[in-house]
Each structure stands twice: as C-alpha cells, then as structure tokens.
Amino acid sequence: MFTRFRDARRLLGIFVLGLAACSEIGTPNPRLARGNFSTILIDPGHGGKDNGGTSGSRMPNALREKDLTLDTARRLQIRVQKAGFRVAMTRNDDRFIELDDRVAMANRRGAGTILVSIHYNATGNPSAHGVETYFWRADSHGLATRIERAVVSEAGQAYGGVIRRRLRLTRNPEIPCVLVECAYLTNPDDNRRAASPAFRERVAAAIADGIKEEYRLGDAGIPSVPELHAPLSKASDRYAEGWLKQIKNRCICGVFPLAAVVALSL
Ligand SMILES: [Zn+2]
C-alpha cells in the first residue's frame, strides 16, 4: 500500500514537472530584458490589392486601412529613427505582401529586432472603437502593454485592451512582435480622428514612446502572462510543427530526465 502511494507520488511529480516545462511551449524567451533590441521592423498592414478594412459609406470620411497604415508607419519610422534605432519597413509603398513573407522578413532579421505591425480596425458594429494591441509571445506582453498605454494617454484613444491572440503576425515571428489596431474606421468618432494627419502623428509618437519605454525598462513592472493555447487562425499555421519540435527539444530531452531524477529522490 505504502509502495503504491510512493509510486503515485513519483508519477505525480513527473506529471507536474512535465506540465510546468511544457507551459513554456511557443515562448522560449518569456521576458524581454531592457536594451534587448536595436532594430524596429515596422509593418504597415495590407497594401496593393489588399485594401484592408474600409470605412463604409455611412462614415464621415471614406478611408482605406492600407493608406492609413502606411502613413502611420512612415511617421513612426521617423520617430524611432530620431530616437537612434535602426529601422526597416516591410513595405514603403502601396504593394501587396503576403503575411508569411512579412513573417519571413522578421525571422531573417532575428535577435535584436522587434516587429511592430500597424493596422486600423473595421467592423459591422459602429459602436466599436478605441485602440487594441495584440500579442502572442510572452516576451511581447510588455511591449504591447506599453504601446497600448501610450496610445491611450498620448493620442487620447479609448482603451481597447492588450489582447493575447494567435494571429499570423503575433505567433509566427521568432522575435518579439505586436500588432496595433490604432482606431476603428467604422466608428464615427474614430473615423474622424483617423482621417486627421495630426491624430496619426500623435499615434505614431505614442507608439514610438511605448517602444522607447520598453527599451529603457524591458519588462520590469509588467505582470507575466498566463500560458494559454488558442485555436489556430489558419490551417497552414506552423503551430503543430513548432509544438512538436519544442516537445522534442524541451520535454523529452530536458524535462523527463530531470523529472526522473527528482522522482527517484522522492
Ligand atoms: Zn488590418
């Protein structure tokens, strides 16, 4: 009876340790240290044949997302360049680029670069408004939080949330990455604001300030995020492949031997 209890305790130990290690799957660098990046890859969403969201005929201004993302990205580019960062753009004119190609650009740059993707939102619900900042990787939570806070306080946008979601551009890049939905083109107030170059300048300045703050402080003071596993956004997403690789590298090679040592000592 006693032996069975001990066996059960060992098994439980192995299970808990395995679970703890697997909780890091997909987030190999959970926290971003200060000064950990020197290059900003700015990604103006959509472009070319892909207009992105549009304002619709009932709004005060006819706006296309792809125009506003490029304009805001260029303003951001100037701001962060002035601050001393190296800057690259995924596009600098009205051209179509596949999402996977944007991800590839980020991954080619690798460590020392962060990706900031700029978007404007559109929905059938005209009351939806505000700025939302998306992230997936745990090491991007601080950057997302600081950008969201800055756009709210400096550009006067309503707080729409720091949202953890598996988007192609928040999950597949192997570097810290966030996606900012600056305003809703389909909300009358946000629509008026987004149409104003002065507003877009404030948004760009705020995003730049969020980036600068993250550079200065890293993730200090930012609460860690609970791991969660959301469904894939597209069948071709690489999650399964990456997950299997991580399992192989982390759980089988690293954790199970460790778990076995601990379990044997119980
Ligand atoms: Zn978009």
Q: Specify the CATH number for the domain of residue 170.
A: 3.40.630.40
Among candidate residues 53, 59, 87, the one with its CA nearest the CA of residue 182: 53
Same domain? For 203 and 252 the reply is no
Domain hosting 248: range is 235-266
Angle among Cα 89, 231, 259 to the nearest 5 degrees reads: 100
How many Å apart are CA 146 and CA 118, to the nearest integer? 15
Residue 95 lies in a domain: yes
Residue 179 lies in a domain: yes
Same domain? For 45 and 165 the reply is yes
Instruction: State the amino acid at position 219 in one-letter form.
Output: D
Residues 6+ apart with CB under 8 A from 207: 72, 76, 79, 116, 118, 147, 150, 151, 180
C-alpha 27 – ligand 1 centre gap (Å): 24
Under the phi-then-psi rule, with left for phi > 0, alpha for psi from -120 to 50, and beta for the rest, what region is 169?
alpha
Same domain? For 148 and 69 the reply is yes
Taking the model in full, what pTM does it have? Answer: 0.77
* Per-residue confidence (pLDDT) for residue 247, from 0 to 100: 35
Same domain? For 123 and 251 the reply is no
- Low-confidence stretches of the chain (pLDDT beneath 70): 1-30, 226-266
Among candidate residues 16, 17, 45, the one with its CA nearest the CA of residue 167: 45
* Per-residue confidence (pLDDT) for residue 232, from 0 to 100: 54
pLDDT digits (tens, 9 = 90+) for 66-119: 999 999 999 999 999 999 999 999 999 999 999 999 999 999 999 999 999 999
Same domain? For 141 and 250 the reply is no
Q: How many domains does the chain have?
A: 2
* Per-residue confidence (pLDDT) for residue 233, from 0 to 100: 56
C-alpha 47 – ligand 1 centre gap (Å): 10
Same domain? For 207 and 252 the reply is no
Residue 24 lies in a domain: no
Residue 2 lies in a domain: no
Angle among Cα 142, 146, 152 to the nearest 5 degrees reads: 145
Same domain? For 211 and 242 the reply is no
Same domain? For 212 and 240 the reply is no
Among candidate residues 193, 179, 150, the one with its CA nearest the CA of residue 61: 193
* Per-residue confidence (pLDDT) for residue 180, from 0 to 100: 98
Same domain? For 47 and 173 the reply is yes
* Per-residue confidence (pLDDT) for residue 227, from 0 to 100: 62
C-alpha 49 – ligand 1 centre gap (Å): 13
C-alpha 93 – ligand 1 centre gap (Å): 16
Same domain? For 131 and 253 the reply is no
